[in-house]
Amino acid sequence: MPLIANQKDLVCSALLHSNDGIAVADAEGTILLWSRGAERILGISPDDAVNQKLLSLPLEPLEEGGNFFFIMEKALAVKNSMDVVSTLKGPGGSLVTIAINATPVQFEEDPEKSRGCAFVFKDISSMQKREAKLEKNINFLETYLAKFNEAQMANMKMMRELAFKRKEVVELNAALHALNQNICGALEDISHEILSPLANIIGYSNLIKSGDESISEESREFLDLILRSGVKIQSLAQRVLDVSKLEAAIESGTIALNPCQFDLNGFIGEILSDFQIPIAEKKLQAVINLGKGPLTLNADMVMIGQVVSNLVSNAIKYNSKEGKIIVESGEEDGFVWLRVSDTGIGIPEEELPRIFDRFHRVRQGKGQAAPGIGIGLNLVKSIVELHKGTITVNSRPGEGSAFHVILPREQLERRGL
């Protein structure tokens, strides 16, 4: 239905005041209509635009083909509506991105100017900025996700490797355990093999010495030498046997503690009296500071004896001539403590973590090595730990060493079989 004049004015007015950018131009590019919305978006008033050429507008497209005139020519050429996004530099120099719909139109009144184009455009700058931001965020998220996936893969790889390594460690531990048991067993066997014929050697030497009065003085001296050497080997083999048996029993969980109540102070006194000769030989000064009264301890007496003997034996062996041995004891909060100190050669700091290892000895200069095979402290540590106690050492080379043992006063239960 054709529009009556009044209706046309109404439509025109509505278009003019539309919020969207609306412009109409004829085929030569002369602007016939320029809405308020177009002014708001592009900063060119209808007065400055109408009757002007599209190409003369102060609008600079950033991309080729973003010009209103070119868009119109294209739409006219294809005789169809076109959608184009164009970024233009406006009269104030600011950039604005618009989405333009260009539609070829036919003017009824003037057949000369019968062809032209109607543009409807929207400012999409902020939308574009939002899109760009969104894209940036998506990119960031994608990179983050890729990195996360990468890290997760690396993590899984590490977990697999860790599980593999753990398995290796378990296997290695089992192998070491088996090897240790073999060594303990072998040491036990060797000691037994040595001890039985040795018992014969010592026994028969004694028999000859005491039973045959006709033997010469010289032969008697040889017999004494055989006996002394035999006893020395016997005590060495016996110690190796003791340590191996103890270790094997600890390993297999069959260790038996035989706790009894005794006075540690009195016991220390007894043990020290066994060392009188070596102490005198080395002209050592023994300082005994055991505190007053008995020091009651509930523990395996034989084993505690080995602890005291080994520490005192070391304090003598690694002391300098005319040095000092200090043996102290006391009690505190349900624990008893024992300290054996000396003023001997001391232990280098780097050796301290290893001196409790079985068969480990600090290497001394040639000809200075004290006799021993490195099992005393290992035995001491095993016994102390079996009694749920601790042993620590302080030492300075050239100044001396102090071994400090702490034991619970009571063994709460009879452990082992």
Ligand X SMILES: Nc1ncnc2c1ncn2[C@@H]1O[C@H](COP(=O)(O)OP(=O)(O)OP(=O)(O)O)[C@@H](O)[C@H]1O
User: Using the rule CB under 5 A, which residue among 314, 319, 329, 411 binds Mg ion?
Assistant: 314
Q: Which one of Mg ion, ligand X, none interacts with residue 362, CB within 5 to 8 A by kind? A: ligand X
Which window, 134-142, 219-227, 298-306, 344-352, contacts ligand X (CB under 6 A)?
344-352
Which residue type, as a one-letter code, is found at position 330? G
Q: Is 405 in the site for ligand X (CB under 6 A)?
A: no
Stretch binding ligand X (CB under 6 A), from 152-160, 184-192, 249-257, 366-374 = 366-374
User: Which residues lie below 8 Å from residue 45, measured CB to CB, with a gap of 6+?
Assistant: 34, 39
Task: Rule CB under 6 A: say whether 397 interacts with ligand X.
Answer: no
By CB under 6 A, name the one of 67, 118, 342, 389 that touches ligand X: 342
Number of residues that bind Mg ion (CB under 5 A): 2
> Interface with Mg ion includes 191 (CB under 5 A)?
no
Instruction: Report d(CA 221, CA 152) in Å as an integer.
Output: 81
Q: 301-317 and 264-274 helices cross at what angle (nearest 10)?
A: 50
Q: At what angle do helices 217-252 and 376-386 cross, to 10 degrees?
A: 40
Burial tier of 73 (Cβ tally within 10 Å: 0-12, 13-18, 19+): middle
Q: Which does 374 bind (CB under 5 to 8 A by kind): Mg ion, ligand X, none?
A: ligand X
Got the DSSP string for 86-124? EEEE-TTS-EEEEEEEEEEEE-SS-STT-EEEEEEEEE-
Token code pair at residue 191: 């000691």
**Among 115, 122, 209, 361, interactor with ligand X by CB under 6 A:** 361
Question: Following DSSP, what letter does each residue of 327-377 receive, concatenated?
Answer: EEEEEETTEEEEEEEE-SS---GGGGGGTTSTT--PPPPTTTPPS--S-HH
Question: In whole angstroms, how far apart are CA 247 and each of 244, 256, 302?
Answer: 5, 12, 16
d(CA 204, CA 144): 87
By CB under 6 A, the residues from 311 to 330 that bind ligand X are 314-315, 318
Instruction: Out of 237, 355, 383, 405, point to the residue binding ligand X (CB under 6 A).
Output: 355
Nearest approach, Cβ of 279 to ligand X (angstroms)?
14
Which residues inside 376-415 make contact with Mg ion, applying CB under 5 A?
Answer: 376
Is the CB of 211 or the CB of 371 nearer to Mg ion?
371
The least CB distance from residue 402 to ligand X, in Å, is: 9
From ligand X, Mg ion, none, which one binds at residue 116 (CB under 5 to 8 Å depending on kind)?
none
Is residue 300 within the footprint of ligand X (CB under 6 A)?
no
Residue 362 engages ligand X in binding (rule: CB under 6 A): yes
Binding of ligand X by 344 (CB under 6 A): yes
Q: Residue of minimal CB distance from Mg ion? A: 376
Work out what residue 67 binds among Mg ion, ligand X, none; the CB cut-off runs from 5 to 8 Å by kind. none
Q: Which is nearer to ligand X, 273 or 368 (CB)?
A: 368
Sign of CA dihedral 258, 262, 268, 269: negative
Pick what 345 binds: ligand X, Mg ion, none; C-beta below 5 to 8 Å, kind-dependent: ligand X
* Residue 102 near residue 85, CB atoms below 8 Å: no
Quick one: which of 376, 384, 391, 411 contacts ligand X (CB under 6 A)?
376
Position 372 contacts ligand X (CB under 6 A): yes
Segment contacting ligand X (CB under 6 A): 162-170, 283-291, 368-376, 407-415? 368-376
CB 85, CB 99: distance < 8 Å: yes
Is residue 234 within 8 A of residue 192, CB to CB? The reply is: no
Residue 345 binds ligand X, judged by CB under 6 A: yes
Of 168-176, 205-213, 257-265, 355-363, which segment contacts ligand X by CB under 6 A?
355-363
User: Is 247 a binder of ligand X (CB under 6 A)?
Assistant: no
Nearest to 14 by CA among 35, 44, 40, 39: 35
Phi and psi at residue 47, in whole multiples of 5°? -60, -40
> Out of Mg ion, ligand X, none, which partner does residue 46 contact, by CB within 5 to 8 A per kind?
none
Q: How far is the CB of 171 from ligand X (least distance, A)?
A: 30
How far apart, in whole angstroms, are the C-alpha atoms of residue 325 and residue 271? 14
Binding ligand X (rule: CB under 6 A), the pick from 373, 388, 396, 414 is: 373
C-alpha pair distances (Å), 110 with each of 35, 78, 106: 22, 22, 9
Which residue ranges make up the site for ligand X (CB under 6 A)?
310, 314-315, 318, 342, 344-347, 355, 361-362, 372-378, 401
